[in-house]
Amino acid sequence: MTDGVSRTAVYDDEDEEDIAFKLGVGCGGVVHLSLVPVNQDNQYLSLDAVSKTLTNGDACEWACTVDGTRGVCEAVEYSNAKPRKASLETIKGMRTLSVLMLPPIHLLVIGGGYDATFMTRLASLQGYLVSLWDPRPAQARIEHFPEVNYLIEDPSVEGLLLHLSEHNIQAAVLMSHHREIDAKALQVLSKRALTYTAMLGPLHRKQEIMDLAGIQDTDFSQYFASPAGFDIGGELPEHIALSVIAQCHAVFHTKPTNLKR
């Protein structure tokens, strides 16, 4: 920190002579640590470009040499960007760390009742961006949803469409518990290529809402879950939120999702 010189260190929690082992820290593995300065001399390792890319809702590949002399940010087509582990390899004789950077998941919650407060809160804790829409004036009160990033004030379907068009929303959960609201929203969402769409309620209600909306399962190009969430054995609002957010996370990280409610 004082001299600004890059250096590396290794902490081996399996070596009884290593400081990590003596301090009792770590999880029984080996940690390779690279300490590098981030300044004008190395163009801030292109981290400013990474920040701008993610803020715009786009994905990128960030590559940084281990000695901290160079960082590169290359845009990646979001539809082809699947979460993966970072890689360390030798490129042009330089040890280079490559990390896929993905923007935060933007979740749209349809319905602003009491149970939605748990959904938005848990999504926010995962680092998601959260939008909330409910055309009923008594619902979706801002004082009940302090963690929501966007509270859609326009109660019309056109207002919802405009918000979808202006923001990179990738997931949606329908939980208004109102037939017409869910049907109208589901009809709109079926025309969007969302990675994850889920609707609360039992199977018979799913069919009822879809008939009302005039759509079917094949109208969804990606994952559509109804009943929403994994079956984790809970019935309270906080349990439902946990099951839905866990399922959403699994879909975005291409993990098995055959554990249905």
Q: What pLDDT shows up at residue 80?
A: 65
Residue 21's H or E segment, with its range, is: helix 19-23
Domain that holds residue 81: 34-101
Instruction: Among 101, 124, 141, identify where a domain stops.
Output: 101
In this structure, are 177 and 72 located in the same domain? no
Q: Domain for residue 17, yes or no?
A: no
Q: How many domains does the chain have?
A: 2
Residue 76 class from Cβ within 10 Å (0-12 exposed, 13-18 middle, 19+ buried)? middle
Q: Domain for residue 207, yes or no?
A: yes
Q: Which residue has 């055309």 as its token pair?
A: 135
In this structure, are 115 and 239 located in the same domain? yes
In this structure, are 135 and 77 located in the same domain? no
Q: What pLDDT shows up at residue 26?
A: 64
In this structure, are 230 and 136 located in the same domain? yes
Distance CA(142)–CA(131), nearest Å, equals 12
CB 159 within 8 A of CB 189: no
Q: CA-based diameter of the chain, in Å?
A: 69
Query: 27-54 pLDDT, tens per residue?
Result: 777 888 889 999 999 999 999 999 999 9
Q: Domain for residue 7, yes or no?
A: no
In this structure, are 83 and 209 located in the same domain? no
In this structure, are 165 and 247 located in the same domain? yes
DSSP 105: P
CB 14 within 8 A of CB 27: no
For the chain, which ranges sit under pLDDT 70? 18-22, 24-26, 78-80, 258-261
Instruction: Among 101, 117, 142, identify where a domain stops.
Output: 101
Distance CA(53)–CA(23), nearest Å, equals 40
In this structure, are 124 and 246 located in the same domain? yes
Q: Domain for residue 1, yes or no?
A: no
Distance CA(133)–CA(205), nearest Å, equals 21
The contacts of residue 36 (CB under 8 Å, 6+ apart) are 6, 42, 45, 64, 66, 67, 68
Q: Domain for residue 77, yes or no?
A: yes
Q: What pLDDT shows up at residue 79?
A: 64
Residue 193 class from Cβ within 10 Å (0-12 exposed, 13-18 middle, 19+ buried)? exposed
Q: Domain for residue 259, yes or no?
A: no
Q: What pLDDT shows up at residue 211?
A: 94
In this structure, are 44 and 70 located in the same domain? yes
Instruction: Among 101, 125, 150, identify where a domain stops.
Output: 101
Query: 204-251 pLDDT, tens per residue?
Result: 999 999 999 999 888 888 899 999 999 998 889 999 999 999 999 999
Distance CA(210)–CA(59), nearest Å, equals 33
Pair of tokens at residue 113? 């009742």
CATH code of the domain covering residue 175: 3.40.50.720
Answering whether pTM is above 0.85, one says no
In this structure, are 147 and 207 located in the same domain? yes
Q: Domain for residue 73, yes or no?
A: yes
**Number of residues written out for the chain:** 261
In this structure, are 129 and 245 located in the same domain? yes
